[in-house]
Amino acid sequence: MKELDNLMQFDHVIRVHPDGTISEPSGIYGPEGIEMETLDDDAGSIMEPYRTAYAEAVARQGWQLMRGYSGQYGTKGTDYIMHTSEYIGGRIERDIRETPGLYVAITIERDDGQAAGWAVAYREDDE
């Protein structure tokens, strides 16, 4: 079985079927054109209102961000931003494989162009 971390390259949507198989649909795209807003005077920190605004922008495109999978110190268990050192494995991989739908790993970039991390977006499948 191929690991999801290898299948789920950034912006590459996968489909998890009810029987657990995975396919790569064509013509389906993940959330696009969203930047994580930050304040210049807070050294690029991502404050909660900006995290909320980002998640809402993703939701307006029909996707939901998976939360609670980051192992980074200081996360509250409800955050969706994964550190660049994390990968799709363990519990997040198990949950994706067990829940039919569409999934995509997306990079999160701050409004200054710097990487803020990444996330996994999910949406129900119409198929």
- What are the pLDDT digits (tens) for 28-70? 999 998 888 776 555 556 778 888 899 999 999 999 999 988 8
Do residues 30 and 59 touch, judged by C-beta distance below 8 A?
A: no
DSSP letter (8 states) at residue 17: -
Query: What's the total number of domains in the chain?
Result: 1
Q: Assign 113 to helix, strand or coil.
A: coil
Do residues 20 and 14 touch, judged by C-beta distance below 8 A?
A: no
Count CA atoms closer than 13 A to 49's CA, side-chain side. Answer: 3
Q: What is the pLDDT of residues 109-126, one digit of tens each?
A: 877 777 888 999 999 998
Is the pLDDT at 72 greater than 80? The verdict is no
Is the pLDDT at 78 greater than 80? The verdict is no
pLDDT of residue 73: 64
Of residues 43, 42, 46, 10, the one with CA closest to residue 29 = 10
Is the pLDDT at 74 greater than 80? The verdict is no
Parent domain of 23: 4-123
Q: Assign 51 to helix, strand or coil.
A: helix
